[in-house]
Amino acid sequence: MNLAYLTTVVFGGIAALDATPVGQTLLSQPLVVATVLGAVWGDMRIALEVGIVLQILAVSTMPIGARTPEDYAAGGVVGVGLALGLSSHHPFIMTREASQMLGVLTGLAVAIGGVPLIRWQRRQNEGLSRWCEEELGRGREGALAASHRAAIGLAFAVGVVYCAVCLALGVWGLGALAERESLRLAKAWSLAQPLWLGLGLAHVLHAFIQRRLVRGAVFGGALIVAWLVLMVGTPPR
């Protein structure tokens, strides 16, 4: 269990690196995070339930220009990690659904709460940039590599610490709630999950359709055809 928490927190640092400073390969996206953590914790179902909701919502976050996007790298790790941590002791469906509800809610709050932290890092990078230019003026070319090492180290450390603090607070503060109020939280999950999925899919759809009637018709046609195939084509159990 402790090893699973430790791996989750370290993966928080890796996801923080992938989100902007290194690579941007989507390793930090909630679905990938959920799959990795699901394998680590040995519970793919819960991990994917939370990961899918967070992924659909994360897609509408655009890291365009100087905009500071919501921190779904930390949000995904903490949300999925918390749901897995809270549900790990409880085989009951109610408690597991309550854990999923708390996981997604915490993941969203962590994603929003991470924005000032990203801004802070970027301001630290401004100082690093000025320092690097001064050092280049003094003839130290190695300053370029040193500033990159420092920025990457800072991003990793901030990712690890932020995920560790949020995860620890979540498990400590919400563990009893998930047990005691599992019925109410499970009811809330049954309502919130489709609402979240619908909200996120609307934003994805908007990105694809871009007010083009033909693309809207393609969406409608695909929905109807898939509906008919699933309703008529699937043999009854």
Q: Which is nearer to another protein, 2 or 229 (CB)?
A: 229
Query: What phi-psi label fits residue 166: left (phi over 0), alpha (psi between -120 and 50 degrees) or beta?
Result: alpha
Q: At closest approach, how far in Å is the CB of 204 from another protein?
A: 5
CA 235 to chain centre: 36
Q: At closest approach, how far in Å is the CB of 139 from another protein?
A: 6
**Are the C-beta atoms of 23 and 69 separated by less than 8 Å?**
no
What interhelical angle do 72-87 and 30-41 show, nearest 10?
30
Q: Which is nearer to another protein, 157 or 205 (CB)?
A: 205
* 214 belongs to the binding site for another protein (CB under 8 A): yes
Token code pair at residue 112: 């929003």
Q: Which is nearer to another protein, 2 or 17 (CB)?
A: 17
- Here the contacts of 48-54 (C-beta below 8 Å, separation 24 or greater) are 49/83, 49/100, 49/193, 50/79, 50/80, 50/83, 50/100, 50/103, 50/104, 50/107, 51/76, 51/80, 52/197, 53/104, 53/193, 53/196, 53/197, 53/200, 54/30, 54/79, 54/80, 54/104, 54/107, 54/108
Q: Which is nearer to another protein, 2 or 115 (CB)?
A: 115
Q: At closest approach, how far in Å is the CB of 55 from another protein?
A: 6
Q: Which is nearer to another protein, 2 or 228 (CB)?
A: 228
* 201 belongs to the binding site for another protein (CB under 8 A): yes
Q: Which is nearer to another protein, 129 or 165 (CB)?
A: 129
Q: Kindly indicate which of the ranges 78-86, 157-165, 168-176, 182-190 contains the residues binding another protein, using the contact rule CB under 8 A.
A: 182-190
DSSP output for 67-81: -----HHHHHHHHHH
Token code pair at residue 223: 């929905």
* 197 belongs to the binding site for another protein (CB under 8 A): yes
Q: Which of residues 20-79 bind another protein (CB under 8 A)?
A: 20-27, 29, 31-32, 34-36, 38-39, 44-45, 48, 51-52, 55-66, 70
Q: Which of residues 107-166 bind another protein (CB under 8 A)?
A: 108-109, 111-112, 122-123, 125-126, 128-129, 132-133, 136-137, 139, 141, 144-145, 147-148, 151-152, 155
Q: Which is nearer to another protein, 6 or 62 (CB)?
A: 62
Q: Which run of H or E residues covers position 181?
A: none
Binding residues for another protein, rule CB under 8 A, total: 107
Q: At closest approach, how far in Å is the CB of 69 from another protein?
A: 9
